[in-house]
Amino acid sequence: MLCTFVLQGYLSSAFSQSTDKQDSIPNIIEDSLQLQYNNVFIPSNDSLNSDITALDSTAIGMKSDSILNKLPPLENRFIPNPQRALWLSLIFPGAGQIYNRKLWKIPIVYGGFLGCLYALTWNNQMYNDYSQAYLDIMDDDPNTKSYMNMLPMNYNMDGREEQFKEIFKNKKNYYRKYRDMSIFAMVAVYLLSVVDAYVDAELSSFDISKDLGLTIEPAVFNSDTKRMNSTVGVQCKLKF
C-alpha cells in the first residue's frame, strides 16, 4: 500500500516535470528569437528613403562631374576676335570662317561663289552673242551675218527681218539683265560671308546656359514717388 502511494507520487512528480519542460520549450524558442530580433537592425522607411536619396544625389553628382570633366575649361576654350574675323573675311572670302574654326561653312561659301560665277559667265556669253547678232541684223552690210549662227541651219528668214530684229533685241536685254543679277548675287554672297564671320565670332562667347528664359510675373509700380501712388501691373524679365 505504501509502495503504491510512493510510486504514484513519483510518477505524478515526473509527469509534472515533463509537462513543465514541454511548456518551457516554446518560451525558450520565443526568447531566443526575440533576442536575435533585437540584435538585428531593421531600417525604417524614412532611413531607406534617405539612403536612396543619398545614392541618387551621389549618382547625379558623379554624372554631372563626368560631364563637366568632358567639357573644355573656359580659359582654354578658343574665343575668336570679331574684328579680326571681319577683316579676314573682307580681305579674302572664307578666311573669317577658317579663323572661327567653322570649316564646314567653307564649301557653302565657295559653292555660292562658283554658282554665281557660272551664271555670270553663261549670261554674259549669251548677251555678247545676241548683242552682236542684233548689231549685224540692224546694219546693211551683207557680209556681217553672225545672226545666222543663232538660227537653224539653212533657215530662210526672207521677209521676217523685222520680227527677228525684235527677237534679238529682247534676247539681248534678257541676258544682260540676268548677267547683272549674277553680279549682284556674287556681291551678296561675299557680304553674307563677311557678316556670318563677324556674327559667329561675336556670339562665340554668348551664354547659352539654362538660365536663359523669359518670365512674366505681377509687379507693383510706383508712378508718383512724392504722393506714394502705386500701380499694379505685369512685368517681363529676360534672363541671359
Question: What pLDDT is attached to residue 65?
Answer: 52
> What is the reported pLDDT for 158?
78
Percentage with pLDDT > 90 across the chain = 36
Q: Which residue type does 23 have? A: D
Where does the pLDDT of residue 237 fall: very low under 50, low under 70, confident under 90, or very high at 90 and above? confident
Average pLDDT over residues 128-149: 85
- Grade residue 2 by pLDDT with cuts at 50, 70 and 90: very low
Beta-bridge partners for 217: 235
Confidence band, pLDDT 50/70/90 cuts, at residue 231: confident
AA identity, residue 204: S
**So what's the pLDDT on residue 174?**
96
Dump pLDDT digits (tens) for 195-214. Answer: 999 999 998 876 656 666 66
pLDDT tens, position by position, 41-61: 444 445 545 554 554 555 555
Q: Which of 102, 67, 100 is nearest to 85 (CA)?
A: 100
- Among 30-39, 173-182, 198-207, which stretch is predicted with the lowest mean pLDDT? 30-39
Tens of pLDDT, residue by residue over 151-160, are 887 778 777 8
Task: Please state, in angstroms and rounded to a whole number, the distance separating the CA atoms of residues 234 and 100.
Answer: 42
Residue 233's beta-bridge partner residues? 219
Neighbours of 96 (CB within 10 A): 29
Taking residues 126-139, what's their average pLDDT? 90
The mean predicted confidence, pLDDT, of the chain is: 74
State mean pLDDT over 2-25. Answer: 44
Reference 201, options 97, 90, 74; nearest CA is: 97
Q: Give the integer Cα–Cα distance in Å for 166 and 139.
A: 14
Of 115, 87, 85, 108, the residue nearest 98 (C-alpha): 85
At residue 40 the predicted structure's pLDDT band, cuts being 50, 70 and 90, is very low
**Reduced 3-state DSSP string for the chain:** CHHHHHHHHHHHHHHHHHHHHHHHHHHHHHHHHHHHHHHCCCCCHHHHHHHHHHHHHHHHHHHHHHHHHHCCCCCCCCCCCHHHHHHHHHHCCCHHHHHCCCHHHHHHHHHHHHHHHHHHHHHHHHHHHHHHHHHHHHCCCCCCCHHHHHCCCCCCCCCCHHHHHHHHHHHHHHHHHHHHHHHHHHHHHHHHHHHHHHHHHHHHHCCCCCCCEEEEEEEEEEEECCCCEEEEEEEEEEEC
